[in-house]
Structure 1
Amino acid sequence: MDRTLFTAEAVRPEVAAFNAAVAEKFGHLPGIFEIGLEAARSGDFMPTPPPSPRSRDLEIGSGLSLHVVPSAEPKGVLLHIHGGGFVLGGASQQDPMLERIAGAAGLTCVSVEYRLAPEHPYPAAWDDCERAARWLIENAAREFGSDTLVIAGESAGALLSVATLLRLRERGLAEAFRGAALSFGVYDSTMTPSQTLAQTGVLKARDIARLVDSYAPDASLRRTPDLSPLYGDLRGLPPALFTVGTLDAMLDDSLFLHDRWLAAGGEAELALYPGADHAFTEGPHPLAAEANARIDAFLAERVAAA
C-alpha cells in the first residue's frame, strides 16, 4: 500500500476546499441521538430523495418487501442493502444511486426493506437480508429476467452484505453471487482503532458506540461473524471491491477486511480516496463521481464474467 495516500499532500485542493466548507457549515450540527431517532428518520438528519418513478415495491412474504429499480435490459440483478447505522434509512431512499447503477451497469437493483434497530436489534436485519438473498437465488430469473447476482452495501449495509454472504456460504449458496461492492463498511462491532479514535468528521466514536448499543445490545455477541465479519472465516466468498476514504472512522475496517479477504484466498480490490470521509459517494463530494464510476465498472465486470 502506498503510504503517501495518507499524507496531506495526497488530498487534492478541491477536496480540501470541500472539506473545509462542509466543516464550516455542518461541523457543529447535532448528531442522530441529539436530534432523536423519530426526527432523524423524518428527514431532520439528512434529506431523503424521492423514489424513482420507475420503481416498485415487491412483497416476498412474512412482511418483507423489496424495492425494485429496474434496468430496461438487465444483464444481472443487484441485491442492495442500504446504510444508516442500522437505525436509519429505507429501501426506497437511495433511488438516484440505484438509477445510476441500473443505467451504468445494466443491473436491475433490488433493495431490502430490512427491520431497523433499536426496535428490532440483531438478528432482525440479518435475517431479513438473508431471506431476500435466498429469495433472489430462487426467483431472480423468473421475476427479473436474469439469475446473475451481485451484492452491494454502504456502511451498515456493507456489514449486512458480508454477513449475508457468510450465511449463504454455510448453506452452500454463496457462489450464486458473483461480486460484492462494499463501501465504507463497519466490519468490527467491537470497534477498530479508527473507530475508537474518531473525534471529528461524519462519524464520531461516541455516536458509533451508541449505534452499536442499538443494534447489538448483547455485547457477548459482538465478535461473532454476523456482527463482526472481520473475525469470521472468509473463505469461499466472491471478489470484492472495498471503497473507503482516508478520513473515514471506518477506515481500518476496510483496510483490515480487504487484507483478510486476500489472506482467505479471495479476490479483493481496495479503492482508497485521500481526504474523503464517511458516505462521501452519496453526495456532491469531488471524489464521488470517480468512486461511483469504479463501483459501477466493478459490478458490470463481475456480471460480464459470470
Structure 2
Amino acid sequence: MTFADPSIFSDEAVAPETAALNADIIAKMTALPDLWAFPPELVRESRRQGRGIFPQQGRSPRAVVVEIEGRHGKVPVRIIAPDKPSGVYMHIHGGGWMFNQSDFQDETLEKIVAETGMACISVEYRLAPEHPFPAGPDDCEAAALWLVTEGVRRFGTDRFFIGGESAGATLSAVTLQRLRDRHGLTPFRGANLIAGCYDLGMTPSAHRFNRGKLILTTRDIALFVRAYIPAGIDLRSPDVSPLYGSLEGMPAALISVGTYDALMDDSVFMASRWQAAGREASLKLWPGGCHVFQGFAIPMAHAAFATEIAFFNAN
C-alpha cells in the first residue's frame, strides 16, 4: 500500500472554500445548545424540520417504500429506481446510530441514479437508544438478504453495491461480514464507505480530536457508542467494530474521509486491513474535510461525489 503524500495533512493543503466552511460550522455549532441536553426524539424532529447543521435535502417524488420482514418486525426500505436499473445501491444512512432517516438524502441518491443508471434503496433501520445493538445491524442484514433474494426479480439485475456515511459505513461493513459469515454470501460488487467508525473503542484520531465543534467530537463519539451499545458488549467484537473482523472475500471498496475528521484513522486503518486481506481498496483522503463534508456544497464535495460515481461505474 502506498501511503498518501504527507503534505495532504498540512493546513496549506486545505482549499479556501473548505476552510471557510469549517470555520462557519464551528461558529454555528459553538453557538447552538448542547445536542446531548435534549431527548433523542426532539433532536430527530428538529432535523426532520431542517434545523440540523447539514443542508436539508428535498424528498424524491418518485420514491416508494416497501416493508420487509426483519428479526424485530417490519423494516421499511425506500426505493428510488429508473425504468431499467443497471444495478442497485443499498444505502445505509448515518447519524450516530441514533438520528436521521432513510429519506434525508433523496437528492443525493437521485443524482446517483442519474449518473449510474442504478436503483438506490435506503434502509430505515431501528435507532438507539430505544433500539440498541443489535437491532440496527439486524435490520440492515434483513434488507441485504431481501435484496439478494428479490433483487433480480424486482430490479432485473444482480449488480449490487452497498455503502453509507458515518454510522452507515460502519453498518455496511458489518452487513458485509454478516452475510459472508452467517449466510455464506458475498453478493456485493463494491462498498462505498464514507467516514465510518470502524473501532467503537476509538482510534487515536477519534480519541485525540482537537479541532473544536467540527461536526463530530470525541465526546460525541463516546456518547453515541454509549447509547448504541449495551453495557457488557465487547467493543472489539467484529459485529460492533468491523475493523476487528476478517475482511476475506470483501468486495472492492472506496474508503473516503476528510483529514479534519475525528474518524480519519478509522478509514486509514480499515483501508490497510482491507488490502492486507488481498482485497481491492482505494483510500481517498480529502484535505481539511470535516466529518461527512460530502453533505455540503463545496468544490471538494463535488469532487468526492465524482469519485464515487467513477467507482460505481467501474465495478
Partner of residue 240, structure 2: 227
Superposed CA deviations along residues 75-103 of structure 1, whole A, max 9, x for unmatched, are: 00111100000000111121011101111
- How many Å apart are 1:192 and its aligned residue? 0.9
State whether residues 174 and 237 of structure 1, in contact with CA within 8 Å, keep that contact through their aligned partners in structure 2.
Answer: no
Structure 1 position 13 matched with structure 2 position 21: no
Partner of residue 4, structure 1: 7
Structure 2, unaligned stretches of length 5 or more? Answer: none
2:81 and 2:235 map into 1 onto residues whose CA distance is 36
- Equivalent position amino acid for 1:37 in 2: P
From 58, 63, 73, the equivalent of 1:55 is 63
Partner of residue 270, structure 1: 283
The worse-fitting range, judged by mean Cα deviation, of 248-257 and 58-67 is 58-67
State whether residues 31 and 207 of structure 1, in contact with CA within 8 Å, keep that contact through their aligned partners in structure 2.
Answer: no
State whether residues 16 and 275 of structure 1, in contact with CA within 8 Å, keep that contact through their aligned partners in structure 2.
Answer: yes
- Equivalent position amino acid for 1:273 in 2: W
The worse-fitting range, judged by mean Cα deviation, of 203-212 and 165-174 is 165-174
Structure 1 position 80 matched with structure 2 position 91: yes
State whether residues 71 and 106 of structure 1, in contact with CA within 8 Å, keep that contact through their aligned partners in structure 2.
Answer: yes
- Equivalent position amino acid for 1:58 in 2: V
Structure 1 position 153 matched with structure 2 position 164: yes
2:281 and 2:137 map into 1 onto residues whose CA distance is 23
Superposed CA deviations along residues 262-293 of structure 1, whole A, max 9, x for unmatched, are: 00111000111001100110122331100011
The alignment partner of 1:114 has SS state of: coil
> 1:1-306 to 2 correspondence within 5 Å?
1=3, 2-44=5-47, 46=52, 48-61=56-69, 62-171=73-182, 173-199=184-210, 200=212, 201-302=214-315
Structure 1, unaligned stretches of length 5 or more? Answer: none
Would the alpha carbon gap of residues 262 and 35 (structure 1) be closer, same or farther in structure 2, given more than 3 Å must change?
Answer: same
2:57 and 2:21 map into 1 onto residues whose CA distance is 22
**Percent identity over the alignment?**
46
Superposed CA deviations along residues 102-153 of structure 1, whole A, max 9, x for unmatched, are: 1111110011110000000000001110111011001011112212111011
- How many Å apart are 1:48 and its aligned residue? 4.3
The worse-fitting range, judged by mean Cα deviation, of 284-293 and 247-256 is 284-293
The alignment partner of 1:175 has SS state of: coil
1:172 and 1:267 map into 2 onto residues whose CA distance is 22
State whether residues 259 and 287 of structure 2, in contact with CA within 8 Å, keep that contact through their aligned partners in structure 1.
Answer: yes
Would the alpha carbon gap of residues 216 and 51 (structure 1) be closer, same or farther in structure 2, given more than 3 Å must change?
Answer: same
Would the alpha carbon gap of residues 54 and 173 (structure 1) be closer, same or farther in structure 2, given more than 3 Å must change?
Answer: farther
Q: What number of residue pairs does the alignment pair up? A: 302
The alignment partner of 1:222 has SS state of: coil
2:33 and 2:283 map into 1 onto residues whose CA distance is 32
The alignment partner of 2:254 has SS state of: strand
2:59 and 2:45 map into 1 onto residues whose CA distance is 15
The worse-fitting range, judged by mean Cα deviation, of 60-69 and 161-170 is 60-69
TM-score w.r.t. structure 1 length? 0.94
State whether residues 174 and 238 of structure 1, in contact with CA within 8 Å, keep that contact through their aligned partners in structure 2.
Answer: no
- How many Å apart are 1:172 and its aligned residue? 5.0
2:102 and 2:241 map into 1 onto residues whose CA distance is 23
- Equivalent position amino acid for 1:177 in 2: F
State whether residues 166 and 174 of structure 1, in contact with CA within 8 Å, keep that contact through their aligned partners in structure 2.
Answer: no
- How many Å apart are 1:219 and its aligned residue? 4.3
1:133 and 1:29 map into 2 onto residues whose CA distance is 37
Let me know the Cα RMSD of the aligned residues: 1.5
